[in-house]
Amino acid sequence: MNLETLIPPTDLRDYAKDQGWVLLKEAAKDRLYVMTNPRFERRQLVFPMDTSAPDYTEAVMLVVDKLAAMEGRTPQSVFDSLVEVGDDGVSFRITTPRPDEWALPLSFASSMVTGAQQLLLASACTVLKLQSHHPRLSRTEAQQFLDTAKFRHTRPGSFILNVSCPVQAMDVQSPLLPDEEADAPFVRRTTMVLRRSLRELVTAIETDSLDDLVAASKKGEGLVVSSNLCEALTRFEDASLKNSVEIGIKWAAAIPRPKDEPRISVVRIQHDYFSRIEEVRHELRAKEEHITDVFPATVETLDGEKGADGRRAGDVILRLLTAEGDELVRARANLTADQYELADKAHMKNEAFVKIAGRLHPGRQPRRFSDITSFELMQK
């Protein structure tokens, strides 16, 4: 393990400061960081300022062990926090009413990852431009922000998806939101928007004030909750699991966290909230209509049944590419036996595409696809 590159001394210092440790500047003349904490009398953290110091690794491991003992954590959990000192973290914890649930449907796990990406993109687009619906989530700055985000190791105890976002990864000018710190980096503004949007949405559900939230968002008053953010949240629901999701925001220790915010802010979205969130999504995108077109698609799942002739037909879940080319939409289509056979071939062949013509209906994903006029394999 190369601690010289994994944990720079300034990151260890910043983490300790965030935990309440105070730097003794007099020790700098000896090229040492020495820190004390009023909660732990007669205890000090001492480690070199230079990664080239011969005992740097041993000193860091000693500090990690000390912090773990005093914080009541494992050394590994402290080490994980140190690696992410410069990142704002977003975690998605899935809970179900069934304590014996030890697995998630694979399609739902895939939906969660897509939902996390869309949630971050929607928040970044809101930082760039306040509006209740973003026709496209492919703005250059938003895509760059997503490219800097990292998929982190999960944690034991539940189904958890961890994403970290380096706060200093981008230098992008954007309009300030109300009460926002003027010097906050773009990534920090995005995580602040995400946290505030989630909190306002859940508060509106719990206080029965969704109408006011929708009206304010449509007028662009205050912080705008977008339809894109709502759609992303619906991807964290699996009807069969009746699950809830807890979304946690962990602020990077490398820069001051937002005023009056704890180190980790958690918003819980209960299972019964998802239907209300879908209502908000629909209201904020009132112009959503049927789309009749030809779509390239991949086959996600096959749910057909055998008929009297021994051939399968029925429902499949497709992942459609919209005309704009920047949005993947899951849709359910009912196929004939001939069409189902082609869908099965595409499903078995890695990265094979089909082409389907018909009508895509608005609504929650998977959306309904009807009036199919053609269905064929696409040739590479």
The predicted-structure confidence for 124-183, as pLDDT tens digits, reads as follows: 999 888 888 888 888 888 889 999 998 887 765 568 899 999 998 887 766 555 555 567
CA angle (335, 340, 343) in 5-degree steps: 115
- Residues 55-75 have a mean pLDDT of 93
Note the pLDDT of residue 109: 87
Percent of the chain exceeding pLDDT 70 equals: 91
- Residues 303-317 have a mean pLDDT of 92
Note the pLDDT of residue 4: 59
Note the pLDDT of residue 247: 96
Note the pLDDT of residue 366: 84
Model pTM greater than 0.75? no
Say how far residue 46 (Cα) sits from the centre of its chain: 36
CA angle (260, 265, 270) in 5-degree steps: 135
- Residues 93-107 have a mean pLDDT of 78
- Across the chain, mean pLDDT equals 87
Percent of the chain exceeding pLDDT 90 equals: 52
Cα-trace Rg, the chain: 25
Examine residue 366 and say whether the peptide bond preceding it is cis (omega within 30 degrees of 0). Answer: yes
Label residue 380 by pLDDT band (50, 70, 90). low
Is pLDDT at 249 greater than 80 in this prediction?
Answer: yes
Label residue 117 by pLDDT band (50, 70, 90). very high
Of residues 109 and 35, more confidence is placed in 35
Is pLDDT at 332 greater than 70 in this prediction?
Answer: yes
Note the pLDDT of residue 173: 67
Strands (E), the chain: 22-23, 32-37, 40-48, 87-95, 150-152, 159-166, 244-250, 264-269, 291-302, 305-306, 312-321, 328-335, 354-360, 367-377
Label residue 273 by pLDDT band (50, 70, 90). very high
